[in-house]
Amino acid sequence: MRGRVDWILAGAAAGLVAIGALGILSAASPLPQYATIVQKHLAAIGLGTALFLFGLGFNYQIYQDQSKAVYAFTIAIMVAVLVVGTHVRGQRAWFRLPFFMFQPSELARLLTVLVVANFLDRRAKKSQDVLTVMGAFAIVAPVMVMILKEPDFSSTLTFFPILIVMLFCAGANLAQLAAMAAYGMLTLGLPLLWTLLSTNPGWQDAVPAGALILHLAEFRWPLFIALAGIVLAAYLAWRLCLMARTQLPGIVFAVAACVVVGGLCSAVLVNRQLKGYQRNRFVSFIAPEADPRGAGYNVQQAQIAIGSGGLWGKGVFSGTQSRLGFLPERHTDFIFAVIGEEMGFLGGMAVLALYLMLIWRIVNAARVARDNYGYLVCCGLAAYYGFSLFVNVGMCLGIVPVAGIPLPFLSYGGSNLTTTLFAIGIAENIYARRYALL
Amino acid sequence: MRQDAAAYDRLQILWVAFYCVVGLLGVRLLQLQVLRNVSYVRQAERNRTQIIYQTAPRGRIYDRKGEIVATSRPTFSLIYMPGKQQGRGDLAGLAEDLSSELGLKKETLLNSLNDALNEQAAVHLAENLPLKTMFKLAEIKTVYPGVDLVVEAQRHYPRGAFASHLLGYLGKLDHEGWKALRLSGYRLDSRVGRSGVEKIFERELKGRDGEIRMEVDAQGRLKRFLGREDWRPGGNVHLTLDAGIQAAAEEALKSSPSKRGAAVVVDPRNGELLAFASVPDFDPNIFLLPARDPSKAAAVRIPEFNLGISGTYAPGSTFKIITSAAMLNGRRVSADARVYCSGTFHVGNRMFKCWQKKGHGYQDWLNGIANSCDVYFYQIGLRAGGEAIERYEKMFRLGEETKIGLFGEKPGKRFGPEERRRRGKDWYDGDTANLAIGQGELLVTPIQMAGVIMAVANRGTIWRPQFVRRIEYSDGRGAYEPKPEVMGRVDLRPEVWDLLQKGLERVVEAGTGGAVRIPGLMVAGKTGTAQNPHGADHGWFVSYAGRPGEPPALAAAVLVQHGGHGGSAAGPVARRIIESAFWLKPSAPAGGTAAEPIERRLVEEGGAGAAEPGEVGGPRKARALAKTKPASTQPRPARPAQRPAPSVEISE
């Protein structure tokens, strides 16, 4: 086995799990269900280790061979959870199993990476084709829609960076990716802009034509006029380019118009779906001091917790912010703040360093993978963990809006932890099989 | 099948980008945890510590015999300590539940709850809770975190409405006041002295509040004891007041005809105030009671006006003491000089009346002062001269604040030729006549009159009135004992003092002041009835008393507002004061055989009271009429003819 197992990757994962377990042990201790939490977490570590070993030993190429079955299984568990799942805090995202609750969306995310990797591998020759991008999105769309249906907006969000990174690494056409990105940014950015404008009347004057932009937020005649104007503008631009004898094909303008029109329409749809608390999260990120007891409270308390930790931290089991309950969601989404408070700058930097090491090793596995499939799977995994780290830690540090994305390895949550360890096992297997002929 | 090199380049780009992002997170971590650490540590500390303040018991206030007139007693208060995670939504429910229990308005409760949340500081929701409410609240306490019952020392005035103008009362701080005082240890819910001794000695009485530092969780529940600082009680203030005399004075004033008035009782030997009563008064406890409705409590109008120092009145016939001093000391007129009183007197073409319509007949000084004969004093006053009277008026410190140290003291108003000149106006003989009997524009306060009678009692010294005997500090400093302070001296020849004292004794023995004749005591005094253009006359009685053969131990000035005649309205008050001071049982104004004639005399005087000053039209009108004859500035040919010679007969 020498040279087969990436001990650095395994060590980094183990280190993160250890720090996370310590953080949860401390953060959850004042809670009444402390014993249950600790038991469940230790059970999850055990199960996760087993899955890690399974992933390590199980030939990853079988996932590719059985891709259809994997996809069918993914769809099946997502449909099942929507039908027979248990409601927890307004989300139908859980299976109630004999000893624990399982959140299938976590597993679905990993399985989606495997399925998309297979698809992109098959289309490696036609990676520049627009159908590659469309197809990848088409594969992911049902899963995303079902997760959105739970509803779990934050989890849905994590699919975008994974997909875009995988497409990017698969060598997809940059123009197509840009169009996709533009569409996505319109879809997500406009509702946020509308939220900001409607909650801060003063900004309507500050932003050029602010009041006018706000009129586009609903399916009424100003929106239709705007859509018609965009189509017309694209057409005129095309004619202009023809007259100027530039060699731009007409399809460019057609696609541009489609992206803008589609983006606007889906933005209006998303805007309708957005919940009040989701708007507040965003507003509180822009101006956290505006309502310290409202939506900005979490962010502020997390920063106080981290900042008060200092260089060495207050010591495990001694963080006042977390133990006295000032820090919300302390053992789940805000576990990094607990670590920052109790283990200080050194603890926080250790987490960042271990994560960097982890992703470095996954990227390395991608580089040395024997086939394109393994390469793409590693890219997808690296994208997910990198994105989670950035969003979660950035949220705790107050440089990213609050999104309910847990920090893999550290946050409490059995489904996430076991799936994550399983994924690391797969990455290990990809690394281990780098020289194998079969 | 392997990916081509270009794809690895793309992965490399992403890897570098991610590397930079983690670097950014690291920099931010450094910024929060190392660079801004101090500020966040402070915020975290503020989050977790809740300070429960313990109001220090205010210092006690004693009377001169050691009786407690203001103390502190333990009461139950309801406090609210805001938790960090409490939304305003929870407060509305809490306010609703509490409002029904406490009987307070929901809005006011919600306001103080919101204040507490904004300031992140504990507030008192209700104080001095009755036991019944307390048990009910004990349930609410378990439902709402942050609500707690604490025991606190609260001010209590055992005698209720007692010397209220001197003691003062406590009030809550408003927001502006708190901002100014927060550095000296005051909190938003502190009480602070609003008037009287409570205000003047606020610093000495306050003490230092204690605090218990507790660790609280986000819901405001107490978790752990962190430390405490014990309170230090405030210093005690010993007053010169004699509770017995004070109570007697207040009671007597309350049973006077108009139930309004002031009594200032001093010790003529050192100026210590023995009683300082102003009626109507108030019970300072009402500001500390559990208010059913704070908005109503704030609007409680208390009679804060202290008649003893802020009320200005014409001194009336009590001023004849000063006219007499001017006359006797000036050697211009002999005490034996006799004047005929026919009941009226003419100055120019103006007729001045004596209060006794049928006249007093021939009067020498002793009879004149005993009977308070106005005609006698008109003539004596004209002979002594307005300037001389004004000089003595000044010497007796009329029209001048005593600087006793209480808020709201008024100087009154001096009246005389010099004062007139100062304002660029003329002085007339009619004014001199008015001044001689204490009418005209002269305005004095009861405490000034106490100074006058004190000077007569001790033969010339006006002590500055003092109400503090000793202040005991709680921080181990030695006690402070103020020394008697001379405010002014009246230099009269000894024989003049003898005469004056004899005259005032005569007033009580056989004159208008019969109401205070007390067997076994030496009592002297002078009645006065101040004409008041706005209503019924004010009754004055100034007197001093002592055991026979000893220097007088008490001097009192009593004013009964709109009480009518001084002898009948203010006299009984003075009598009660003197009786209580010398440990005598209260008795009828005059017992035994002497009762009848005095009663009759009082009835007569009372009937003529309104006319006593001798002028039908009041001082204003009198001055206007008297203007026909300027006395000092422009001697006219007609002047000799206008001398009031015909009705004056001075016998040697």
- Domains (ranges, CATH) in chain B? 49-239 (3.90.1310.10), 306-633+641-647 (3.40.710.10)
The CA distance from A216 to A224, in Å, is 9
**Closest residue of B to A355, CA-based?**
B22
Residue A202, judged by CB atoms within 10 A of its CB (0-12, 13-18, 19+), counts as exposed
CB contact under 8 A, A325 and B85: yes
CB contact under 8 A, A303 and B216: no
CB contact under 8 A, A363 and B26: no
DSSP state of B480: B
Angle at B167 between CA B162 and CA B172, to 5 degrees: 110
Provide the strand spans (E) within B137-280.
147-156, 170-172, 191-193, 210-216, 222-229, 236-239, 261-266, 273-279
The answer to whether the Cα torsion of A179, A181, A183, A189 is positive or negative is negative
pLDDT at A103 exceeding the cut of 80: yes
Q: Would you tell me which residues 148-167 of chain B have a C-beta closer than 8 angstroms to some C-beta of chain A? A: none
Instruction: Tell me the shortest Cα–Cα distance from B6 to chain A, in angstroms.
Output: 8
Q: Which residues of A touch B14 (CB under 8 A)?
A: 165, 168-169, 382-383
Residue of B3, B42, B47, B216 to mutate for A, most A C-beta atoms under 10 A: B3
Pairing label, strands B61-62, B49-54: unpaired
What pLDDT was estimated at residue B641? Answer: 36
DSSP state of A288: T
3-state secondary structure of B352: strand
Q: Of B1, B30, B44, which is closest to A304 when you measure between CB atoms? A: B44
Percent of chain A with pLDDT over 70: 92
By C-alpha distance, which of B626, B616, B652 is closest to B386? Answer: B626
Please answer whether residues B245 and B581 qualify as being in contact, where contact means their C-beta atoms are separated by less than 8 angstroms: yes
* pTM of the predicted structure, to 2 decimals: 0.65
**Closest residue of B to A303, CA-based?**
B32
Q: Is B87 on the interface with A (CB under 8 A)?
A: yes
Q: Which residues of A touch B21 (CB under 8 A)?
A: 386, 390
Instruction: Tell me the shortest Cα–Cα distance from A253 to chain B, in angstroms.
Output: 27
Q: Would you tell me which residues 309-368 of chain B have a C-beta closer than 8 angstroms to some C-beta of chain A? A: none
What pLDDT was estimated at residue B602? Answer: 35
Question: Which residues partner with B279 through β-bridges?
Answer: B261
Contacts 24+ apart (CB under 8 A), B490-495: B490/B325, B490/B392, B490/B395, B490/B396, B490/B455, B490/B460, B490/B461, B490/B462, B491/B395, B491/B460, B492/B325, B492/B328, B492/B329, B492/B459, B492/B460, B493/B329, B494/B459
Q: Of A308, A309, A399, which is closest to B43 when you measure between CB atoms? A: A308
What pLDDT was estimated at residue A279? Answer: 72
What pLDDT was estimated at residue A361? Answer: 95
3-state secondary structure of B427: coil
What pLDDT was estimated at residue B298? Answer: 53
CB contact under 8 A, B22 and A363: no
**Closest residue of A to B222, CA-based?**
A324
The string of pLDDT tens digits covering residues A305-346 is: 999 999 999 998 888 888 888 888 888 889 999 999 999 999
Q: Would you tell me which residues 538-577 of chain B have a C-beta closer than 8 angstroms to some C-beta of chain A? A: none
- The structure tokens listed for A195 are 């939220």
For A74, half-sphere exposure in the C-beta direction (CA atoms, 13 angstrom radius) is 28
What pLDDT was estimated at residue A201? Answer: 63
Q: Is B9 on the interface with A (CB under 8 A)?
A: no
Is cis: bond before B552, omega within 30 of 0? no
CB contact under 8 A, A171 and B7: yes
CB contact under 8 A, A356 and B19: yes
3-state secondary structure of B483: coil
**Closest residue of A to B16, CA-based?**
A360
CB contact under 8 A, A307 and B22: no
CB contact under 8 A, A301 and B84: yes
What pLDDT was estimated at residue A346? Answer: 95
Pairing label, strands B236-239, B61-62: parallel
Report which residue type is found at B54: Q
- The structure tokens listed for B406 are 């209480």
Cα of B633 vs its chain's centroid, Å: 42
Total number of residues shown for chain A: 438
Residue B248, judged by CB atoms within 10 A of its CB (0-12, 13-18, 19+), counts as buried
Question: Which residues partner with B344 through β-bridges?
Answer: B353
Instruction: Tell me the shortest Cα–Cα distance from A42 to chain B, in angstroms.
Output: 27
Q: Rounded to the nearest 10 degrees, how much is the dihedral formed by the CA atoms of A61, A64, A65, A69?
A: 130
3-state DSSP percent of chain A in helix, strand and coil, to 5: 75, 5, 25
CB pairs under 8 A between A and B: 148
The ipTM of this complex is 0.89
What pLDDT was estimated at residue B589? Answer: 43
What pLDDT was estimated at residue B321? Answer: 94
Q: How many CB atoms lie within 10 A of CB A135?
A: 17
The string of pLDDT tens digits covering residues A396-424 is: 998 887 778 899 999 999 999 999 999 99
Q: Which residues of A touch B85 (CB under 8 A)?
A: 293, 297, 325-326, 328
The CA distance from B459 to B497, in Å, is 6
Q: How many CB atoms lie within 10 A of CB B357?
A: 13
Instruction: Tell me the shortest Cα–Cα distance from B19 to chain A, in angstroms.
Output: 7
Instruction: Tell me the shortest Cα–Cα distance from B20 to chain A, in angstroms.
Output: 10
What pLDDT was estimated at residue A1? Answer: 46
Q: What are phi and psi for residue B201, nearest 5 degrees? A: -105, 30
Q: Is A122 on the interface with B (CB under 8 A)?
A: no
What pLDDT was estimated at residue B203? Answer: 87
Q: Would you tell me which residues 144-173 of chain A have a C-beta closer than 8 angstroms to some C-beta of chain B? A: 165, 168-171
Residues of chain B with pLDDT below 70 are: 1-6, 83-89, 120, 141-142, 220, 289-300, 585-652
Please answer whether residues A239 and A265 qualify as being in contact, where contact means their C-beta atoms are separated by less than 8 angstroms: no
Instruction: Tell me the shortest Cα–Cα distance from A293 to chain B, in angstroms.
Output: 7
CB contact under 8 A, B2 and A168: no
The CA distance from A334 to A342, in Å, is 13
Instruction: Tell me the shortest Cα–Cα distance from B94 to chain A, in angstroms.
Output: 18
Q: Which residues of B touch A379 (CB under 8 A)?
A: 11
Provide the strand spans (E) within B474-600.
486-489, 522-530, 538-546, 554-560
Q: What are phi and psi for residue B189, nearest 5 degrees? A: -105, 15
Q: Is A349 on the interface with B (CB under 8 A)?
A: yes
Residue with tokens 């980008």: B17
By C-alpha distance, which of A410, A378, A404 is closest to A391? Answer: A404
Pairing label, strands B486-489, B261-266: unpaired
CB contact under 8 A, B11 and A367: yes
Q: Is B218 on the interface with A (CB under 8 A)?
A: yes
The CA distance from B2 to A434, in Å, is 11
Residue of A291, A298, A299, A308 to mutate for B, most B C-beta atoms under 10 A: A308
Q: Which residue has the higher pLDDT, A176 or A50?
A: A50
Question: Which residues partner with B554 through β-bridges?
Answer: B545
pLDDT at A174 exceeding the cut of 90: no
The CA distance from B567 to B528, in Å, is 7
Q: Of A326, A345, A393, which is closest to B25 when you measure between CB atoms? A: A393
Where along chain A do its domains lie?
A: 7-432
Q: What are phi and psi for residue B355, nearest 5 degrees? A: -65, -25
The string of pLDDT tens digits covering residues A229-269 is: 989 998 898 888 888 887 777 788 888 888 888 888 888 88
Instruction: Tell me the shortest Cα–Cα distance from A387 to chain B, in angstroms.
Output: 9
Please answer whether residues A362 and A378 qualify as being in contact, where contact means their C-beta atoms are separated by less than 8 angstroms: yes
Q: Is A303 on the interface with B (CB under 8 A)?
A: yes
By C-alpha distance, which of B464, B458, B465 is closest to B494? Answer: B458
What pLDDT was estimated at residue A438? Answer: 46
CB contact under 8 A, B223 and A394: no
**Closest residue of A to B216, CA-based?**
A324
Helix axes A335-368, A7-27, angle to 10 degrees: 170
**Closest residue of A to B13, CA-based?**
A169
Q: Which residues of A touch B45 (CB under 8 A)?
A: 308, 320
Q: How many CB atoms lie within 10 A of CB B507?
A: 29
Q: Of A310, A386, A390, which is closest to B37 when you measure between CB atoms? A: A310
Pairing label, strands B191-193, B170-172: antiparallel
The answer to whether the Cα torsion of A136, A139, A143, A146 is positive or negative is positive
Q: What are phi and psi for residue B141, nearest 5 degrees? A: -55, -40
The string of pLDDT tens digits covering residues A368-380 is: 998 999 999 999 9
The CA distance from A327 to A306, in Å, is 10
Q: Is A61 on the interface with B (CB under 8 A)?
A: no
Q: How many CB atoms lie within 10 A of CB B209?
A: 19
Q: Is B1 on the interface with A (CB under 8 A)?
A: yes
Contacts for B495 with CB less than 8 Å, ≥ 6 apart = none
- The structure tokens listed for B121 are 């500081």
CB contact under 8 A, A311 and B34: yes
What pLDDT was estimated at residue B614? Answer: 37
Q: Of B10, B44, B117, which is closest to A168 when you measure between CB atoms? A: B10
